[in-house]
Amino acid sequence: MDTKIIAPSILAADFANLQRDVELVNRSQAEWLHIDIMDGVFVPNISFGMPVLKAIQKHTSKFLDVHLMIVEPERYIDEFAKLGANMLTIHYEACTHLHRNLQAIKFKDMKAGVAINPHTNVELLRDTITEIDMVCIMSVNPGFGGQHFIENTYDKIRDLKKIIEEKGASTRIQIDGGVTDKNAKDLITAGADILVAGSFVFKSENPTQTIANLNSLIN
């Protein structure tokens, strides 16, 4: 079986001590670092942009998992490739030409991810699933860390897993929002491969230990 992955979300880090928190993740068992880019239009919040990502990239040793919560993400694909993104995830709801955008991401040698909001049915990905390296199921409404996990996510994981199998795709499933030690194992059992965890990791007493605990719950 594949190793399951914890991706700490830097959104919940201390931005005044960003290098410290990036290095903390470097020393941890997390394989990925999750980066939330918000434009204040697609979501009602603005996080940070390219200069901050550049600074993070300089210090991280992890797989850079970049989650774009922005309109017209196709405008920035080249730039995120240059900034060292390994996975570039765009929102289904932000794309008129999803298939074209996925190809553009892969052309730049990045993995291509598609995120779906809580209201978006997984069936809408059936026709593109073989082009998608990872589906990020939003288990909160995108825009903010620290929100409550939406329970309907479990059904979405199972439905998506079925589509992936029916289509013979190798797409991985990521869950983003409200992940804790209470739901991590159940999410993996339902079919998830990668769990993003922001507040639960960075607001804990010992984030490195919290990552290790989550990791042992899912592997």
Smallest separation (angstroms) from Zn ion to the CB of 8: 11
The structure tokens 């992955």 sit at 5
User: Between residues 67 and 161, which has the closer beta carbon with respect to Zn ion?
Assistant: 67
36 annotated active-site = yes
40 assigned to a ligand binding site: no
Q: Is 36 annotated as a binding residue?
A: yes
- Cβ atoms within 10 A of the Cβ of 125, count? 22
Can you say how many angstroms the Cα of residue 58 is from the centroid of all Cα atoms in its chain? Answer: 20
Site for ligand DX5 in 2-31 (CB under 6 A): 9, 11-12
Residue closest to ligand DX5 (Cβ): 198
Active site residue 176: yes
Distance CA 129, CA 99 (A): 10
Cβ(13)–Cβ(2) under 8 Å? Answer: no
91 touches Zn ion by CB under 5 A: no
Q: Which residues contact 56 (CB under 8 A, 6 or more apart)?
A: 10, 18, 22, 33, 35, 64
At 53, the amino acid letter reads L
CB of 72 to ligand DX5, least distance (A): 18
Catalytic residue among 21, 36, 65, 133: 36
Which residues sit at the interface with Zn ion, rule CB under 5 A?
36, 67, 176
Which residues sit at the interface with ligand DX5, rule CB under 6 A?
9, 11-12, 34, 36, 67, 140, 142-147, 176-179, 196-200
